[in-house]
Amino acid sequence: MSGPKETAVKRSMTFREALNLALTKEMEADPSVFVFGLDVPDHKRIFGSTAGLLEQFGPSRCFGTPLSEEGMTGVALGAAISGLRPVQVHIRVDFVLLAMNQLVNMVSNLRYMSGGKLKVPLVIRAVIGRGWGQSAQHSKSLQGLFAHIPGLKVVLPSTSQDAYGLLRAAIRDDNPVIFLEHRWLYDVSGEVDLAQNPGSGGPVVRRAGKDLTVVCTSWMNVEAMKAAEILAKRGVSLEVVDVRTVAPLEIQPILDSAAKTGRCIVADYDWSFCGFSAELAAQISHAHWGRLAKPVERLGFAHVPCPTTRPLENLFYPSAVDLIRTAERLLDLAPMDLGGESFYSYEERFKGPF
């Protein structure tokens, strides 16, 4: 090995730095990896996550594109079946919708339709979630929509460690991976063990508890950790499970947690109706029929387009407060006074780690 030795294998870094390091390491390790998408090499570098790639690897391995989402996804697919490992980046997941024809008719099907002859090592990174009044077209997550399609892997990291480990694993995967990054997570710092293997990328317990399980995707992990911290003050012990990979779903760790606590909330950062939370609630309820103390509860986006104005936007997205109130209902507890608690807001930015 050349280059400086990792004096400390564990380092604290932000989510964006972890993504950036993962890209850099994979591009260093494999010349067939390239990163492209609108604004990937501009001065902002996708929230800083693609910083330095152009300078280190040159314009053939890090480049911007025309405003042609469908065409560029097809280009990525054509490059992937020709032996390259493209990482396509969308600064809003809402723009991936322009490429749904390629994703649903081509990317997801090509291996099956070729009788297993073709491999599709393709990563599509997309920025999801809430911003400063981003409204209906810059605010979605859509993991439920993507996960509905057989042949697409759907991954939502929520820590710096997973931003690093799961992105590296996604790039090394021979299947198409939709990698969804919540923009609020970019500023969150956490310890990253550079040597840690993300394993299957399946669900992990973020906080062990005994009274109630909260199964979370993406930013809901942050909200759930906050809710757990506050509920602990009144002696309620929440177990927080981070799904990490929505598709293909590894259900067993989630079932194990629900069996242990007997109560379960699915907190999915997406619309609830016909969504991933419904899938989880169905699988948990089916597996544990008659053994749960209460029916599985679901928290997700209100079934409306995302509004801009803050008071309505606050109602649209599920929060730690919603989790606390739902947990109290499931545990037959009176609502506690939250007057003294401070929750995440734009004005008081979360610094992390969890």
Partner 1 sequence: MLPKASAPTSTRNETPLGVGPAQALGLYRKLLLIRLAEERIRQEYFKDEMKTPVHLGIGEEAIPVGVCHAVPEGSACFGTYRNHSLFLAMTQDTDRFFGELYGKSTGPAKGKAGSMHLTAPEAGLMATSAVVGTTIPLAVGAALARAYRKEPALTVSFFGDGAVEEGVFWESLNFACLKRLKILFVCEDNGLAIHTPAASRVGFRSIPEALGGFRAQVASGDGSSLTTVIELARGLMSRMEEESQPGFLHLTYFRFLEHVGPLEDFDKGYRRKPTPEEMERWDPVSRFEKDLDDLGVGGEDRQRVRQEVLAQIDRSVRLAQAAPYPGVEELHTDVWA
Contacts of 317 (CB under 8 A, 6+ apart): 130, 301
Under the criterion CB under 8 A, does residue 79 sit at the interface with partner 1? Answer: yes
End-to-end alpha-carbon separation of the chain, Å? 34
Residue with token string 């029929």: 289
How far apart are the C-alpha atoms of 339 and 317, rounded to whole Å? 20
Comparison of 121 and 190: residue with beta carbon closer to partner 1: 121
Question: What count of residues does the chain have?
Answer: 354
Comparison of 16 and 61: residue with beta carbon closer to partner 1: 61
- Angle 134-137-142 from CA coordinates, rounded to 5°: 105
Under the criterion CB under 8 A, does residue 120 sit at the interface with partner 1? Answer: yes
Comparison of 82 and 309: residue with beta carbon closer to partner 1: 82
- Judge whether 288 counts as a catalytic residue: no
Alpha-carbon separation of residue 290 from 218, 280, 287, 307 (angstroms): 30, 17, 9, 39
Distance of CA 56 to the CA centre of its chain: 27
Q: In what order do the strands lie in the sheet with 33-36?
A: 62-63, 33-36, 85-90, 123-128, 177-182, 153-155, 245-247
How far apart are the C-alpha atoms of 192 and 163, rounded to whole Å? 9
Q: Which of 18, 21, 81, 236 binds partner 1 (CB under 8 A)?
A: 81
Task: Identify which range of 13-21, 111-119, 321-329, 342-350 contacts partner 1 by CB under 8 A.
Answer: 111-119
The residue annotated as part of the active site, out of 17, 26, 90, 138, is 138
Going residue by residue from 34 to 73, which x/- string records binding to partner 1, judged by CB under 8 A? x-------------------------x----xx-x-xxxx
Going residue by residue from 127 to 156, which x/- string records binding to partner 1, judged by CB under 8 A? -----------------------xx-----
Q: Which of 76, 220, 231, 265 binds partner 1 (CB under 8 A)?
A: 76
Comparison of 29 and 113: residue with beta carbon closer to partner 1: 113
Under the criterion CB under 8 A, does residue 336 sit at the interface with partner 1? Answer: no
Other CB atoms within 10 Å distance of the CB of residue 44? 12
Q: Which of 9, 56, 58, 105 binds partner 1 (CB under 8 A)?
A: 105
- Judge whether 69 counts as a catalytic residue: yes
Q: Which of 35, 54, 80, 280 binds partner 1 (CB under 8 A)?
A: 80
Closest Cα partner for 252 from 200, 292, 212?
A: 200
Under the criterion CB under 8 A, does residue 90 sit at the interface with partner 1? Answer: no
Going residue by residue from 221 to 260, which x/- string records binding to partner 1, judged by CB under 8 A? ---------------------------x------------
Minimum CB–partner distance for residue 54 and partner 1 (Å): 16
How far apart are the C-alpha atoms of 233 and 290, rounded to whole Å? 30
Minimum CB–partner distance for residue 176 and partner 1 (Å): 10
- Determine the residue type at 67: L
Other CB atoms within 10 Å distance of the CB of residue 235? 8
Under the criterion CB under 8 A, does residue 29 sit at the interface with partner 1? Answer: no
The residue annotated as part of the active site, out of 69, 223, 239, 313, is 69
Under the criterion CB under 8 A, does residue 89 sit at the interface with partner 1? Answer: no
Alpha-carbon separation of residue 161 from 19, 51, 205, 207 (angstroms): 9, 19, 14, 15
Contacts of 176 (CB under 8 A, 6+ apart): 80, 103, 107, 108, 120, 122, 123, 124, 151, 152, 153
Minimum CB–partner distance for residue 104 and partner 1 (Å): 10
Under the criterion CB under 8 A, does residue 174 sit at the interface with partner 1? Answer: yes
Contacts of 233 (CB under 8 A, 6+ apart): none
Comparison of 150 and 295: residue with beta carbon closer to partner 1: 150
Minimum CB–partner distance for residue 254 and partner 1 (Å): 21
The binding site for partner 1 (CB under 8 A) comprises 34, 60, 65-66, 68, 70-84, 86, 101-102, 105-106, 110-121, 150-151, 174-175, 248
Catalytically active residues are 69, 138
